[in-house]
Copies of this chain bind each other. A is one copy, B any other.
Amino acid sequence: MRAGETMHKLTARQKAVLEYIGDSIHARGYPPTLREIGNHLGIRSTNGVNDHLRALERKGYLTREDMKSRTLRLMKTPDGRPSSRPPIANDNLVEIPIVGRVAAGALSEAIEHPEDTVHIDRMLIGGQRDVFGLRVTGESMIEAGIFDGDFVFVRKQLTANRGEVIIALVGDEATCKYYFPEREHVRLQPANKEMAPILIPKNDWQSTQVLGVVVGVYRRLH
């Protein structure tokens, strides 16, 4: 950085404006209007927003064109580096339906009508396809680090390997357990010393009872 090229610092508010503009471009593909910025930051007057934009222009963080809508261009990031934000590459993102709760019943129906979806980085689910999400109820897998309220991401498949964490349909309830096929029965093993395994005789066991294999776990804190 040369002398004379004074490093104009931003106020917190100006930084927030600049960040929202970047977010908008990044997420929607086009810059926001004055009023959109105002709405997002709780500024009721377009002039209030304009003040910020003028300040950001003066300090060299963005440029715009006269009397044209949405013609904002970012020149520098809030920390002063030249701006060039690559657009999100869709290839890395997957949209995942959250189909209900494990052990909540009537799951198969829920799968057809997802209530909600989340987007998740493909990297986090190991590049798997056909993944859906569930909310966990109960404490049966706490020793595996899967707690009440956690989200689990499940790769849809009808078979599993010994020892994997699976979602199985028992009766009409979905449940999350370790999978242990044995001679006479299939053992669904909880990860909780105080709970007994579920034993299902091989005769009663149908392949449709495995809904999928858990490939990821997410827990919100705070």
Please, how many residues of chain A have a CB less than 8 angstroms from a CB on the other chain? Answer: 57
> What are the residues of chain B within 8 A of A23 when measuring CB–CB?
91
The DSSP consensus for interface residues of chain A is: mixed
Q: Are B218 and A213 in contact (CB under 8 A)?
A: no
Residue pair A220, B125 in contact (C-beta under 8 Å): yes
Give chain B residues whose Cβ lies under 8 Å from the Cβ of A150.
145
Assess the A92–B70 pair: CB atoms within 8 A: no
- Please tell me if A2 contacts chain B, counting CB pairs below 8 Å: no
Q: Digit string of A61-92 for contact with B (CB within 8 Å is 1, else 0)?
A: 00000000111111000000011111111111
Pull 21 A–B residue pairs with CB atoms less than 8 Å apart, ordered by A: A25-B30, A27-B88, A30-B31, A30-B73, A84-B89, A88-B88, A88-B95, A92-B119, A118-B124, A119-B121, A125-B220, A128-B222, A145-B145, A145-B147, A164-B221, A164-B222, A214-B222, A215-B222, A216-B219, A216-B220, A217-B221
Distance of A30 Cα from B74 Cα, bound (Å)? 11
CB neighbours of A74 from chain B (8 A): 29
* CB-based contact A70/B69 at 8 Å: yes
- For the A-B complex with A82-B90, A216-B219, A217-B218 known, give 17 more contacts whose Cβ atoms are closer than 8 Å: A25-B30, A27-B90, A29-B73, A30-B30, A30-B31, A83-B90, A86-B90, A88-B119, A93-B119, A118-B123, A125-B220, A126-B222, A165-B221, A214-B222, A215-B221, A215-B222, A218-B219
Question: Which of the listed residues A30, A73, A123, A147 has the most CB atoms from chain B within 10 Å of its own CB?
Answer: A30
Least Cβ distance of A66 to chain B in Å? 14
